[in-house]
Homo-oligomer: A and B are copies of this chain.
Amino acid sequence: MKPKIAIVGASGYSGEELVRILLHHPQVELAVVTSRQYAGQTVAQIFPKFANHPLAKTLRFTEPKADALAQAAQIVFLALPHGVAAEYAAPLLELGCKVIDLSADFRLKSAAVYKDFYAHDHPAPDLLKKSVYGLTEIHRSEIKKAALIASPGCYPTSILLPTLPLLKAGLIKSTGIIADSMSGVSGAGRKAELDYLFVECNESLRPYGVPKHRHLSEIEEQLSLAAKTDVVIQFTPHLVPVNRGILTTLYLAPEHHFGSPAEMSALQEQVTKCYQTAYGQESFVRLLEGKSLPDTKNVVGTNTIEIAWRLDPRTGRLIVMSAIDNIAKGASGQAVQSMNVLCGFEETTGLV
Contact = CB atoms under 8 A, between A and B. Distances in A.
Interface in A92-125: none
Nearest to A52: B304
Contact of A204 (B200, B206, B295): B295
Nearest to A240: B240
A203 interface: yes
A27 to B, nearest CB: 16
Contacts of A178: 178, 251
A152 interface: no
A312 interface: yes
A15 interface: no
A153 to B, nearest CB: 18
Interface string A206-247: 111011100000000000000000001110101011111111
Interface stretch (A73-81, A161-169, A185-193, A266-274): A185-193
29 contacts: A24-B352, A48-B295, A49-B298, A49-B302, A52-B283, A52-B286, A182-B238, A190-B194, A192-B192, A192-B193, A196-B198, A199-B243, A200-B297, A202-B243, A203-B243, A205-B295, A205-B296, A207-B294, A207-B321, A210-B310, A212-B314, A232-B314, A232-B315, A233-B315, A234-B251, A234-B312, A234-B317, A236-B249, A236-B319
Interface of A: 13, 24, 48-49, 51-52, 178, 180, 182, 184-186, 190-194, 196-208, 210-212, 232-234, 236, 238, 240-247, 249, 251, 283-284, 286, 288, 292-302, 304, 306, 310-312, 314-315, 317, 319, 321, 323, 352
Given A52-B302, A211-B314, A211-B319, 9 more contacts: A49-B297, A178-B251, A196-B199, A203-B203, A204-B296, A205-B242, A234-B312, A234-B317, A240-B240
